[in-house]
A = this chain, B = another copy of it.
């Protein structure tokens, strides 16, 4: 049985016999012995192995080039050289698989564009290994945050016949072949009607909040937007909590607590992986994350945010006016320049928000909220939901949503309606925030974007 290198490096005492395995990152040879740096993906750190010429397996040492896989048995001893506490004096070494000279990760300094083209190999680099270990730990932190607070995890459907936003561009899911000539009918399709990939699990999530109290979803969502930006992917993971007996204040409280919790987890439980992003991607990363973890967030109504932006004296590309959406440049100015901390903006004009948000008593604004963070802008968007049946039915009629499609959603208000609220957070946005990575394609194992569906 091999011991993961993560555990070996944390050892508190030498060992007479230790088994390790991994991929060679570098090898240096002298006449009498070779140094190998071995990585097994369990952590960022490498295990230094000293293999004397003449030990069993040493006849293959020259084939143990960068990328090759090897097994080692040896003594764990305090390291003579600097840079590591422990090293292995190999008693035997075995080549598992060589790596021919055309192995693409021989040298450092590849562009992220090139590394995306070999997405099946890039997790073997330090940066992407760290990225995807961190993605795993942050995923688990999301579950831990909600489970510790008594939230139930709900798998809302991926294939759906409804459309939460009423406007999203959606992928079709079909067993019909669109390249075959001749008109077909969705009545002949697998589900007997048109079906799509979900853009949000919120509406289905609400049905469970109105039964189990506090719930969350964490699953893939999809947008068929033909936009090639560094922030958009066709497939991404969303986290959507929903709370019964909860208003907008409780919703903002949860969003802020969650962002703080996840940032703290990234700072504390990342086994050294975060360091590489601070070193090569964003020098100010740790400082920014610590600031977010430790300071209170600002909260202000949309109306005040618009006033502040108007008085800023700053020239924006997009206009600032009551009734218009805040653009990314406005959001970033508020959080980065003006408040210099995360900001939650709430109570937006009803005209620019979806049908399900609760109308305020002013009859002009709805209980929407967006949480903005430095470097990203909006990271969370949510609202208290309209729980009054008559108001909701009015909104549905106004937006042209039929009772045939959304009657089940209205039923939640007809039978034992309760105030409830929730929000959505794009998981990739969070990862970009905690790593400083600027392109969403670099935080997803295999990114799907217009024209790209490799692997």
A91 within 8 A of B: no
**Are A135 and B155 in contact, with the CB atoms below 8 A?**
yes
Instruction: Indicate whether A432 reaches chain B with its CB closer than 8 angstroms.
Output: no
Chain A interface SS verdict (over half): loop
B23:A208 contact, CB within 8 angstroms: no
Residues of B within 8 A of A24 (CB): 416
Q: Tell me whether A426 is interfacial, beta carbon within 8 Å.
A: no
Let me know if B179 and A180 touch, CB within 8 A: no
Looking at A192-200, A364-372, A390-398, the stretch in contact with chain B turns out to be: A192-200
The reply to whether the CB of A143 lies closer than 8 angstroms to some CB of chain B is: yes
Bound form: Cα–Cα A156–B180 in Å: 30
A211/B416 contact (C-beta < 8 A), A6-B150, A140-B147, A185-B179 known: no
User: A363-404 toward B: CB 8 Å interface, digit per residue (1/0)?
Assistant: 000000000000000000000000100000000000000000
Pairwise interchain contact A153-B140, C-beta atoms closer than 8 A: yes
Q: Is B211 a contact partner of A41 (Cβ separation < 8 A)?
A: yes
Asked if A414 is an interface residue, CB under 8 A from chain B, the answer is yes
A22 and B213 CA atoms in complex are apart in Å by 8
State whether A179 and B173 are in contact (beta carbons under 8 Å apart), knowing that A415-B103, A445-B155 are contacts in the complex: no
Q: How far is the CB of A207 from chain B (nearest CB, A)?
A: 4
Q: State A287–B414 Cα separation when bound (angstroms).
A: 42
Residues of B within 8 A of A2 (CB): 245
A4 at the interface (CB under 8 A from B): yes
Structural contact, B157 and A121, CB atoms closer than 8 A = no
Q: Contact check, B161 vs A158: say whether CB atoms are below 8 A apart.
A: no
Indicate which residue in B4, B169, B173, B224 contacts A150 across the interface (CB closer than 8 Å): B4
Give every chain B residue within 8 A of A69 (Cβ-Cβ): 416-418
A50: min CB distance to chain B, Å: 21
| Residues on the B chain within 8 Å of A215, using CB | 136
Cross-chain contact A234 with B171 (CB below 8 angstroms):
no
Answer yes or no: A67 CB below 8 A from chain B CBs. Answer: yes
Q: Determine if B416 and A23 form an interchain contact, defined as CB atoms under 8 angstroms apart.
A: yes
Interface string of A66-83 (1 = CB under 8 A from B): 011101000000000000
Contacting residues of chain A (263-296) with chain B, CB-CB under 8 angstroms: none
Q: Which residue of B lies closest to A173 (CB)?
A: B171
Q: In the complex, are the beta carbons of A226 and B190 less than 8 A apart? A: yes
Other A-B contacts than A4-B213, A120-B411, A158-B222, 14 sampled, CB-CB below 8 A, are A21-B244, A97-B387, A99-B415, A121-B411, A123-B208, A129-B211, A139-B153, A140-B153, A155-B220, A157-B235, A171-B190, A179-B184, A195-B453, A220-B220
15 pairs from A and B in contact (CB 8 Å cutoff):
A4-B213, A4-B214, A40-B213, A40-B245, A99-B414, A100-B414, A120-B408, A140-B143, A154-B445, A155-B220, A160-B453, A172-B176, A179-B185, A180-B183, A192-B451
